[in-house]
Amino acid sequence: MERRVFGATGAAVPVIGQGTWQMENDDREGAIRALQAGLDLGLTHLDTAELYGRGRVEESIVAQVIAGRRDSVFLVSKVMPTHATYEGTLKACERSLQRLKTDRLDCYLLHWPGSHPLEHTVRAFEQLVQDGKIRSWGVSNFGVEELEEAVRIAGPGRIACNQVLYHLEERAIEHKVLPWCERANIAVVGYSPFGNGRFPRPDSAGGRVLASVARAHGVSPHQVALQFLVRRPCLFAIPKASQEAHARDNAAAAGLRLSREELARIDAAFPRGPDTGELPLL
Ligand code: NAP
């Protein structure tokens, strides 16, 4: 599994990881098996949040998946903006650690910008780093202005990543957020890489391009999409798969190499659209 340095943390993290949103609605045993198979195959960047199933995903799925193999996992969770006061962030982290049955997170994110002063959240994150409860921290759904404010508050080299919506039909981050993060050495983790299940249909123009590239390599269109989405060195992707076959398919995407010409065909088939200045959320 290809690994990349995760922003300024220096940690080598697999380019393709695993999401866990909405897994409380999936067959629990099947989801656990899929995540474990993913870990076996190197998809060790595991993304969760206190929000997911209101803690149920952390407690009843992820805790079991990482049990006995915590050291090989790059574990990420997120604090909800409504909890992100100084005290609230410390407490939310403690609750996540308890649910996950671990003593630390590898990265802790502010789920999206909220109304509590960011200074307070950042101070809590830095306290958690000092206390050894988190190894690094980052943000999610931050546009350039919010990133600028965050760096002003935290200083350079403190924000590990910005987790943002990124899939073939939603490429808005390529206008400003991605280049900005590249310059600031902040990892960009693309969430919902398959559009939260709304993957381009095989009979659409874009779907036909994906299928033709996939056929040439003997892989799936999903693998082609993933490899396109991590084509720049600061990019990571965290697909969610509750079926083991899907986890295996996603893991195999890391070995795929697309030519310049293939990347250009995919680029043309899924135009990024004009810069509206908005950062899309799911
Ligand atoms: P996604 O990864 O875009 O799509 C998941 C869907 O794709 C599921 O229906 C899954 O099926 C299917 N799938 C996965 N691998 C496949 C494959 N190889 N072939 C065919 N189908 C495949 O969905 P997402 O959950 O929205 O996004 C991924 C993760 O990003 C989340 O789980 C979460 O951790 C994170 N996220 C973060 C935020 C944020 O605000 N920070 C927001 C949204 C998501 P099965 O489940 O049936 O296997």
Quickly count helices (H) and strands (E) in the chain.
11, 9
Within 13 A of 31's CA, how many CA atoms are on the CB side?
19
User: Ligand 1: distance of its center to the CA of 101 in Å?
Assistant: 24
List the beta bridge partners of residue 107.
Answer: 76
CB 229 within 8 A of CB 23: no
Q: Could you give phi then psi for residue 169, rounded to 5 degrees?
A: -100, 10
Asked if residue 83 belongs to a known ligand binding site, the reply is no
Dihedral (C-alpha) 138, 166, 66, 49: value to the nearest 10 degrees? 60
For the CA of 250, the nearest atom of ligand 1: 18
pLDDT, position 261: 98
Q: Cα(270)–Cα(171) distance, rounded to whole angstroms?
A: 9
Determine whether 234 is exposed, middle or buried from the number of CB atoms within 10 Å of its CB (0-12, 13-18, 19+): buried
Report domain extents, the chain.
3-201+233-258
127 contacts 104 by C-beta, under 8 angstroms: no
Q: Does 193 sit in the ligand 1 pocket, CB within 6 Å?
A: yes
Contact 72, 42 (CB under 8 A): no
Q: Which DSSP category does 219 fall into?
A: -
Do 43 and 75 touch, CB atoms closer than 8 A? no
Q: 201: which DSSP letter?
A: P
162 lines ligand 1 (CB under 6 A): no
Closest by CA position to 257, among listed 218, 226, 227, 216: 227
Question: How far apart (Å, rounded) are the C-alpha atoms in residues 69 and 278?
Answer: 40
38 alpha carbon – ligand 1 mean position (Å): 13
Cα–Cα distance, 248 to 235 (Å, whole number): 20
pLDDT tens digit at each of 282 positions of the chain: 899 999 999 999 999 999 999 999 999 999 999 999 999 999 999 999 999 999 999 999 999 999 999 999 999 999 999 999 999 999 999 999 999 999 999 999 999 999 999 999 999 999 999 999 999 999 999 999 999 999 999 999 999 999 999 999 999 999 999 999 999 999 999 999 999 999 999 999 999 999 999 999 999 999 999 999 999 999 999 999 999 999 999 999 999 999 999 999 999 999 998 999 889 888
pTM: 0.98
Q: Are 122 and 153 in contact (CB under 8 A)?
A: yes
From residue 88, alpha-carbon distances to 79, 82, 116, 142 in Å are: 9, 8, 10, 20
CA of 127 to the centre of ligand 1 (A): 32
Catalytic site residue from 52, 108, 166, 191: 52
Question: Going by CA atoms, what residue is nearest to atom 9 of ligand 1?
Answer: 197
Residue position matching structure tokens 């992707």: 237
The yes-or-no answer on residue 108 being catalytic is no
Question: Ligand 1, from 112, 246, 248, 256: best to mutate by most atoms within 8 Å of Cβ?
Answer: 246
pLDDT of amino acid 282: 81
pLDDT of amino acid 45: 98
Q: What is the pLDDT of residue 277?
A: 87
- CA 184 to ligand 1 center in whole angstroms: 27
**H or E element: which one contains 129?**
helix 118-130
Place of tokens 């909220």: 114
- Whether 58 is in the pocket of ligand 1, judged by its Cβ within 6 Å, is no
- Residue closest by Cα to atom 38 of ligand 1: 191
- Ligand 1, closest atom to CA 47? 34
Per-residue CA distances from 84 to 77, 88, 135 (Å): 13, 5, 18
Q: Can you tell me which atom of ligand 1 is nearest the CA of 241?
A: 48
The one-letter code for the residue type at 269 is A
Q: Is the CATH number of domain 3-201+233-258 3.30.70.100? A: no
DSSP 100-126: HT-S-BSEEEE-S--SS-HHHHHHHHH
Dist. CA 87 → ligand 1 center (Å): 31
